[in-house]
Amino acid sequence: MTVNEMMQNMPLTLVNKPKTVSRPINKLFASDLLSHVIGYAEEYDVLITVLNNINVLGVASLLDLSAVIFTHNAKIKPEIIERANDLDLPLFTTPLSTADIVQKIASLG
Protein backbone atom coordinates (compact mmCIF):
# COMPACT_ATOMS: atom_id res chain seq x y z
CA MET A 1 0.00 0.00 0.00
CA THR A 2 1.10 3.59 -0.57
CA VAL A 3 0.45 6.72 1.45
CA ASN A 4 -1.92 7.90 -1.28
CA GLU A 5 -3.97 4.68 -1.13
CA MET A 6 -4.19 4.98 2.63
CA MET A 7 -5.19 8.63 2.38
CA GLN A 8 -7.96 7.89 -0.14
CA ASN A 9 -9.54 5.16 1.96
CA MET A 10 -9.29 6.45 5.53
CA PRO A 11 -10.76 9.29 7.59
CA LEU A 12 -7.55 11.31 7.34
CA THR A 13 -6.97 15.00 6.69
CA LEU A 14 -3.70 16.01 5.04
CA VAL A 15 -2.52 19.08 6.96
CA ASN A 16 0.55 20.06 4.96
CA LYS A 17 1.70 20.21 1.34
CA PRO A 18 4.21 17.45 0.64
CA LYS A 19 5.54 17.11 -2.90
CA THR A 20 4.48 13.48 -3.03
CA VAL A 21 2.17 11.06 -1.26
CA SER A 22 3.21 8.04 -3.30
CA ARG A 23 5.73 6.55 -0.87
CA PRO A 24 5.24 2.91 0.07
CA ILE A 25 4.08 1.86 3.51
CA ASN A 26 6.10 -0.85 5.21
CA LYS A 27 3.95 -1.14 8.33
CA LEU A 28 2.13 0.92 10.93
CA PHE A 29 3.95 1.95 14.08
CA ALA A 30 1.87 3.39 16.92
CA SER A 31 3.76 4.93 19.81
CA ASP A 32 3.91 8.07 21.92
CA LEU A 33 7.44 7.41 23.15
CA LEU A 34 9.96 8.67 20.61
CA SER A 35 12.86 6.64 21.98
CA HIS A 36 10.75 3.54 21.37
CA VAL A 37 10.07 4.68 17.80
CA ILE A 38 13.80 5.22 17.22
CA GLY A 39 14.55 1.75 18.55
CA TYR A 40 11.92 -0.23 16.70
CA ALA A 41 10.33 1.60 13.75
CA GLU A 42 11.70 0.97 10.27
CA GLU A 43 12.09 2.82 7.01
CA TYR A 44 8.75 3.52 5.27
CA ASP A 45 6.67 2.90 8.39
CA VAL A 46 3.79 5.25 9.19
CA LEU A 47 4.00 6.68 12.70
CA ILE A 48 0.68 7.04 14.51
CA THR A 49 0.86 9.21 17.62
CA VAL A 50 -0.76 11.87 19.77
CA LEU A 51 2.57 13.66 20.29
CA ASN A 52 2.39 17.11 18.79
CA ASN A 53 5.89 18.52 18.83
CA ILE A 54 8.75 19.16 16.44
CA ASN A 55 10.73 16.17 17.74
CA VAL A 56 8.29 13.83 15.98
CA LEU A 57 9.61 15.19 12.68
CA GLY A 58 13.22 14.67 13.72
CA VAL A 59 12.50 11.01 14.39
CA ALA A 60 10.46 10.64 11.19
CA SER A 61 13.29 12.15 9.16
CA LEU A 62 15.97 10.07 10.90
CA LEU A 63 14.12 6.84 10.11
CA ASP A 64 12.81 7.92 6.68
CA LEU A 65 9.19 7.28 7.67
CA SER A 66 6.53 7.55 4.96
CA ALA A 67 4.02 9.65 6.95
CA VAL A 68 2.85 10.69 10.39
CA ILE A 69 -0.75 10.46 11.59
CA PHE A 70 -1.82 12.51 14.62
CA THR A 71 -4.89 11.06 16.32
CA HIS A 72 -7.76 12.61 18.31
CA ASN A 73 -7.99 15.63 15.93
CA ALA A 74 -4.70 17.08 17.11
CA LYS A 75 -4.19 20.70 16.11
CA ILE A 76 -0.78 20.74 14.47
CA LYS A 77 1.40 23.78 15.18
CA PRO A 78 2.34 25.92 12.13
CA GLU A 79 6.07 25.40 12.71
CA ILE A 80 5.57 21.62 12.55
CA ILE A 81 3.64 21.92 9.29
CA GLU A 82 6.29 24.19 7.79
CA ARG A 83 9.14 21.83 8.75
CA ALA A 84 7.22 18.80 7.44
CA ASN A 85 6.88 20.58 4.09
CA ASP A 86 10.66 21.11 4.04
CA LEU A 87 11.13 17.39 4.76
CA ASP A 88 8.49 16.36 2.19
CA LEU A 89 6.78 14.36 4.94
CA PRO A 90 2.99 13.96 4.77
CA LEU A 91 1.22 14.82 8.03
CA PHE A 92 -2.33 13.71 8.71
CA THR A 93 -4.86 14.20 11.45
CA THR A 94 -7.78 11.93 12.22
CA PRO A 95 -10.66 12.18 14.67
CA LEU A 96 -10.13 8.54 15.57
CA SER A 97 -8.15 7.13 18.46
CA THR A 98 -4.80 5.49 17.83
CA ALA A 99 -6.30 2.01 18.26
CA ASP A 100 -9.19 2.74 15.90
CA ILE A 101 -7.09 4.15 13.07
CA VAL A 102 -4.58 1.31 13.32
CA GLN A 103 -7.42 -1.19 13.05
CA LYS A 104 -8.99 0.59 10.07
CA ILE A 105 -5.74 0.94 8.12
CA ALA A 106 -4.75 -2.66 8.88
CA SER A 107 -8.07 -3.81 7.40
CA LEU A 108 -6.95 -2.42 4.02
CA GLY A 109 -4.34 -5.17 3.84
What pLDDT is stored for residue 57 in this prediction? 98
Helix (H, G, I), strand (E, B) or coil at 28: strand
What pLDDT is stored for residue 96 in this prediction? 98
**Domains recognised in the chain with CATH numbers:** 3-106 (3.40.1390.20)
What pLDDT is stored for residue 50 in this prediction? 97
State the 10-residue block means of pLDDT for the chain, 109 residues long: 97 97 97 98 98 96 98 96 98 98 94
Helix (H) or strand (E) holding 83: helix 78-87
Number of H helices, E strands in the chain: 5, 5
What pLDDT is stored for residue 55 in this prediction? 97
In terms of pTM, does the model score above 0.95? Answer: yes
Whether residue 70 contacts residue 91, with contact meaning beta carbons closer than 8 Å, is answered with: yes
What pLDDT is stored for residue 97 in this prediction? 98
